[in-house]
Chains A and B, each alone.
Chain A
Amino acid sequence: MDFLNAIIVLFNFTVIPALAYGSQLALGAIFVTLIYAVLRFANFATGDMMSFGTMFAVILTYYFQSLGFGLGVLPTALLTIPFAVLMMILYMLIIDKFVFSYYRIKKSPPVQFAMVSVGVMFVTQALIRIIIGPSDRRFLDGEKFIIKATEFKEMTGLAEGITLKSTQAITIIVTLIVVSIMFWFLNRTKTGTSMRAYSDNEDLALLSGIDPKRVVLITWVIAGILATIGGVLYGLDKSYRPFVYFNNMLPIFAAAIVGGIGNPFGAFLGGYVIAFAEIFVTYAYKRFISYLLPEHLEPDSLLQLLSTDYKFAVSFSILVIVLLIRPSGIFKGKVI
């Protein structure tokens, strides 16, 4: 019984949150990695683009709520995602047309692209703050919990309970659906194949008649879908604050590089690697251990490797270690 309790404690406080957080990171990391693979630059506007897409979802959610639309137990935000995605793709295409395409045609070095994306980051951040303001916004409605700790305890008769928030379940399910569709698209369809060809060798791809404009367009469309969905899921789970999204860019980058930049599957797993590492290293194992050990051996301290203040630092340290030992990432990405 104690063993079961210990497992449930661990599951409730580390595995479920890490799965949800990892899914959000994974979507962002695939976004980073796709842009890196096809358009060949590190996009420093990642966090703010996700925030921009989420902003539309937040505004539309408020609008739908005022009209009385809703999905019942599910959050209204899910209904707004398609519209938000459309707006996001439109914004990305405008940015690409007026900013990035010029450098792509000129074949500028990646560093220049990165600097340009910093400019896009500033502009996007300004637009978000001017349109919706910098304050904290909650736009979650519908049922909050799927399983509550007390219900779980009553059901099983255990001392510890599992809490499953509906946002966590939605995050994990939606991520799995989106990512599987994306992988199917990349690996099985003709357009996906042409994208991968373009990413592997641009000249050969052009030679075999692949239209670069179409590839770029499709990339931005997929990027818009990933960015918006990732952003909305994060916003539903925590809350929507423009500033936080900018900070999230850093673990997302870490996830993309740890998984091997340019490799979508690596980025997907990288998101979970970062999330699990962050949560496992900063979790206090006292309660977990006290179930496993006999009573007189119970530890006094919290048994925490690092305090939660260093959550971000953990993921960055992992990144630095990976860069040092295996610069191409866990799954071989583009070779540096």
Chain B
Amino acid sequence: MRNYKNVIAAYSIMIFLIILVGIFQSWSIALTILNYCLISAVMTIGANIQWGYAGLINFGIMGYTALGGLAVVLVSVEPVKKAWQVGGLNILACIWIIVAIIFIVKFILNRFDKSKLRNYSVASLILGGIILLRVTAAPGIEAIESVDPARTGFLGGMGLPVLFSWIFGALLAGSLAFVIGKIALGLRADYLAIATLLIAEIIVSIIKHEEWLARGVKNVIGLKRPAPYEINLQTSDWFINLVTKFNSSKLNLINSISDKQEALNQMVIDASSVYVKLCFTGLFLTVVIILLIVTQKALYSPWGRKMRAIRDNEEAASAMGKNIVKEHLLIFILGSAIVGLAGAMMVTNDGLFTPGSYRPMRYTFVIWVMVIVGGTGNNFGAILGGFVVWFLWVEAAPIALFLINLFTSHLPETNAVRVHLIESAPYFRFLVIGIGLLLIMRYRPQGIIPEKIIKQ
């Protein structure tokens, strides 16, 4: 138990901070922060599996997050029948062409020996394939995008319940990670970082600009939810009764009936948003706990020891007969799948898919800061990192504003420096995160909760 003291202390402080936000700002904001903390925690578990367990540096987290988000659209949105009628055939044909090209290229690569002729024929095949794809797809895409472009203009999804998209998002991200891993995992650490960063950028730019797929930068709004809607809650009797029961002491203080009704209405509105967020919190917490149990078990299993051995000394591990390439690929896929799951969770939480908002700063580097700050190789640490860094990321601006006001209180309201500083308060979050990362890297490189090796 003594070993877990600092873990428990750290998490208690974190929960206390969130409760403070609830008391000083509002419970709705506190729950929003908590939900995002939980989503970040899932992402950090994914990144930690890759970096902490296996030492793989993956700066492509943004790409997998975006893919997870795409999965929500592809699974939960109702299919647009008209778009399928006018252009579905072309898109299906394109998918077959892509599959055919892949198989032919694979066949050529397997069948013939390495030669200049083989390289040129593969290159010309791919180039020809791209031209063929464009010719086949162009009329279909045009037709699809012109179907009611203000509201749809895309193929839509499968119309399944949104929770399926979490699994599908993980599968999608995992299969893409398989392809990327095959290509890039042979590279040295910093090259891998750059390559994954750029590949993620390619993925996001495809999602952004292929409007037939998920409306691109026009965004998909009003996605399904696994939780009830506020408006339905506000009109259902059981919920109003529940709110009345909880606040009976407060309501009893009000004498006039009309005032009482008004106060109750306001409470119901507030409570409905809190209730919805609590539903999400429950779902996310379940995911985090399941992942935590599984990853903890994996970490202390023979497999986990093997991964650590590979991380710490590749040559020795390969001399012991471990297949490093295969293990690296496996862990790359697993980590990316978890990040994809987190991406799907995030889009479900927001209820909208905005491809334009995927930026490497927010979805790659901040997640990495979380892993490093929390503690690499330790799942509890990684999750704590997700909580701490997300909390700072959100609360840095209000805290900075408070401090600026405090230190410049002697200056007049219209002082140029003061006005400028107050205007730039939102950017202090970068400063806080950056300095935090630098300090942790310097003075506690193993993170807040360091990795613990249990000798067995």
The answer to whether A133 and B438 have CB atoms under 8 Å apart is no
The answer to whether A133 and B442 have CB atoms under 8 Å apart is no
Selected from A109, A115, A125, A257, the residue in CB contact (under 8 A) with B368 is A115
Q: How far is the CA of A118 from the CA of B434 in the complex (A)?
A: 8
- B350–chain A nearest beta-carbon distance, Å: 22
* Residue of A whose beta carbon sits closest to that of B432: A126
The answer to whether A316 and B202 have CB atoms under 8 Å apart is yes
- A128–chain B nearest beta-carbon distance, Å: 9
Q: How far is the CA of A41 from the CA of B428 in the complex (A)?
A: 27
The answer to whether A122 and B209 have CB atoms under 8 Å apart is no
Query: Provided the pairs A122-B430, A130-B428 are in contact, do residues A250 and B209 lie with their beta carbons within 8 angstroms?
Result: no
Query: Provided the pairs A42-B194, A253-B198, A317-B202 are in contact, do residues A102 and B442 lie with their beta carbons within 8 angstroms?
Result: yes
- B125–chain A nearest beta-carbon distance, Å: 15
Q: How far is the CA of A310 from the CA of B201 in the complex (A)?
A: 10
**A110 beta carbon closer than 8 Å to chain B:** yes
Query: Provided the pairs A114-B193, A122-B365, A123-B430 are in contact, do residues A310 and B205 lie with their beta carbons within 8 angstroms?
Result: yes
The answer to whether A316 and B424 have CB atoms under 8 Å apart is no
Q: How far is the CA of A250 from the CA of B196 in the complex (A)?
A: 11
Q: Which stretch of A68-76, A148-156, A320-328 is in the interface?
A: A320-328
The answer to whether B209 and A307 have CB atoms under 8 Å apart is yes
- A318–chain B nearest beta-carbon distance, Å: 10
* Residue of A whose beta carbon sits closest to that of B396: A126
**A336 beta carbon closer than 8 Å to chain B:** yes
Query: Provided the pairs A309-B208, A313-B201, A316-B198 are in contact, do residues A122 and B437 lie with their beta carbons within 8 angstroms?
Result: yes
Q: How far is the CA of A127 from the CA of B206 in the complex (A)?
A: 32
Contacts of B372 on A, CB cut-off 8 Å?
115
- B251–chain A nearest beta-carbon distance, Å: 47
Q: How far is the CA of A125 from the CA of B434 in the complex (A)?
A: 9
A289-317, CB under 8 A of B: which get 1 and which 0?
00000000000000001010110110011
Chain A interface secondary structure, helix, strand, loop or mixed?
helix
The answer to whether B199 and A316 have CB atoms under 8 Å apart is yes
Contacts of B445 on A, CB cut-off 8 Å?
112
The answer to whether B205 and A123 have CB atoms under 8 Å apart is no
- B138–chain A nearest beta-carbon distance, Å: 8
Q: How far is the CA of A111 from the CA of B428 in the complex (A)?
A: 26
The answer to whether B441 and A112 have CB atoms under 8 Å apart is yes
Selected from B424, B429, B430, the residue in CB contact (under 8 A) with A133 is B424
Query: Provided the pairs A102-B442, A111-B189 are in contact, do residues A320 and B199 lie with their beta carbons within 8 angstroms?
Result: yes
Selected from A42, A115, A122, A257, the residue in CB contact (under 8 A) with B431 is A122
Selected from A115, A127, A336, the residue in CB contact (under 8 A) with B187 is A336
* Residue of B whose beta carbon sits closest to that of A130: B424
Contacts of A121 on B, CB cut-off 8 Å?
365, 434
- A273–chain B nearest beta-carbon distance, Å: 15
The answer to whether B431 and A126 have CB atoms under 8 Å apart is yes
Q: How far is the CA of A119 from the CA of B432 in the complex (A)?
A: 10
Contacts of A310 on B, CB cut-off 8 Å?
205, 209
The answer to whether B194 and A116 have CB atoms under 8 Å apart is no
B352-378, CB under 8 A of A: which get 1 and which 0?
000000000100010011001000000
13 contacts between A and B (CB under 8 A): A99-B442, A111-B193, A114-B193, A115-B441, A116-B438, A116-B441, A122-B365, A126-B430, A127-B431, A250-B201, A309-B205, A313-B202, A320-B198
Instruction: Give me the 9 closest cross-chain CB pairs, A-B, nearest first.
Output: A122-B434, A126-B430, A126-B431, A123-B434, A129-B427, A119-B437, A316-B198, A309-B209, A119-B438
